[in-house]
């Protein structure tokens, strides 16, 4: 009995330390969990903004890739971390928008279990194929997939990921069937697309620009109202005959619920400074990233975005009849 009381007291002490004010925070490196494999869009955005945030905070932001279950494994890890400012996460439209509809037993609530820090980048979605896919327009792609879906493989990063969610929407919109192949992130998925091991996918622009420019994969269309300045020759879905397929993702920084306000304020300030830095902006723009401005930045804008996205994706995904279990 005595041991139990001592253990409980120690746990309370730890919790109190975590939540107590830490005026000198950070005094050691901060871990940023990226819930997908290295080299994918979430990882790329995290490393670009994280490097500049490190400079403002005076401590290294160390990326830890924790992949699995469409990103929900890593985000669950972040939710369970001590709220002491030394663990944060890069989530996105999948982990903090689509996941509740796809995981009935999801172990976190995107809108309640985190302190929102801010949006890092908007990431338009493109439909891309291996370079020798027998289609050179979105119309040819749709016709081919509808006729040959049984022998085609689509690459995604797990149920609930952005790639899975946005290709689920495409699948239901064009009423096609195809084999869906899960990866630990769209970094490794892209490697197989370049190698011709898989046929197509729906992915975030920041993962794709160099490969599309090099011609190692083909872009059928970008699912935004306007073309991207980084890919001026890629038509929009509206121009290409699928106007209703308009979808963009976003990546954003979160801290565990209960992280002290003076810490979340420092994190939000460091992210804001990163997004205002001309070199960071140049790198994100070159990759087709959309940088949030004004009210779209910061904790309030992100909290509103999470609530809006969960409300948006839940009926869409339920209508498509998709769940992870």
Cα distance from N-terminal residue to C-terminal residue, the chain: 41
Question: Which residue, 42 or 230, is less far from ligand MLT as judged by CB?
Answer: 42
Which residue ranges make up the site for ligand MLT (CB under 6 A)? 36, 40-43, 71, 92, 94, 157, 161-163, 185-187
Residue 261 C-beta: closest distance to ligand MLT, Å: 29
Question: Which residue, 26 or 94, is less far from ligand MLT as judged by CB?
Answer: 94
Answer yes or no: are the C-beta atoms of 175 and 141 closer than 8 Å.
Answer: no
Residue 289 C-beta: closest distance to ligand MLT, Å: 13
Residue 187 C-beta: closest distance to ligand MLT, Å: 6
Question: Which residue, 32 or 157, is less far from ligand MLT as judged by CB?
Answer: 157
Q: What residue has token string 């954003």?
A: 252
Question: Which residue, 168 or 236, is less far from ligand MLT as judged by CB?
Answer: 168
Helix or strand run (H / E) with residue 68:
none
Q: What residue has token string 């999470």?
A: 306
Residue 97 C-beta: closest distance to ligand MLT, Å: 11
1: Cβ–Cβ under 8 A, 6 or more apart, which residues?
none
User: Which residues sit opposite 30 in a β-bridge?
Assistant: 61
Helix axis angle, 278-286 relative to 261-276, nearest 10°? 70
Q: Select the residue whose beta carbon is closest to ligand MLT and give its number.
A: 40
Question: Which residue, 96 or 266, is less far from ligand MLT as judged by CB?
Answer: 96
Residue 292 C-beta: closest distance to ligand MLT, Å: 17
Alpha helices in 151-208 (DSSP H): 162-174, 186-194
Name the maximum alpha-carbon separation found in the chain. Answer: 73
């Amino acid at each position: 009995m005595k041991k139990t009381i001592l253990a409980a007291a120690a746990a309370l002490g730890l919790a109190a330390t975590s939540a107590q004010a830490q005026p000198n925070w950070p005094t050691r490196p901060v871990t940023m969990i990226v819930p997908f494999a290295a080299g994918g869009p979430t990882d790329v955005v995290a490393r670009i903004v994280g490097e500049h945030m490190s400079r403002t905070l005076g401590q290294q932001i160390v990326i830890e890739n924790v992949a699995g279950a469409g990103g929900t494994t890593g985000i669950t890890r972040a939710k369970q971390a001590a709220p002491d400012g030394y663990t944060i996460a890069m989530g996105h439209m999948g982990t903090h928008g689509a996941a509740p509809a796809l995981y009935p037993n999801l172990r976190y609530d995107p809108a309640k279990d985190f302190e929102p820090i801010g949006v890092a980048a908007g990431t338009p979605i493109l439909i891309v194929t291996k370079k020798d896919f027998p289609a050179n327009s979105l119309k040819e792609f749709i016709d081919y997939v509808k006729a040959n879906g049984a022998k085609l493989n689509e690459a995604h990063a797990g149920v609930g990921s952005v790639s899975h969610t946005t290709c689920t929407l495409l699948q239901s919109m064009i009423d096609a069937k195809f084999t869906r192949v899960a990866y630990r992130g769209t970094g490794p998925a892209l490697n197989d697309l370049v190698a011709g091991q898989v046929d197509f996918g729906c992915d975030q622009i920041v993962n794709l620009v160099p490969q599309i420019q090099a011609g190692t994969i083909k872009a059928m269309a970008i699912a935004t109202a306007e073309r991207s300045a980084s890919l001026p020759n890629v038509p929009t879905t509206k121009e290409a005959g699928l106007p209703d397929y308009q979808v963009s993702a976003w990546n954003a920084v979160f801290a565990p619920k209960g992280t002290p306000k003076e810490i979340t304020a420092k994190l939000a300030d460091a992210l804001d400074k990163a997004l205002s830095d001309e070199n960071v902006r140049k790198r994100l723009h070159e990759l087709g990233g959309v940088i949030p401005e004004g009210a779209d930045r910061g904790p309030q804008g992100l909290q509103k975005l999470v609530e809006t996205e969960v409300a948006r994706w839940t009926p869409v995904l339920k209508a498509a009849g998709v769940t992870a279990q």
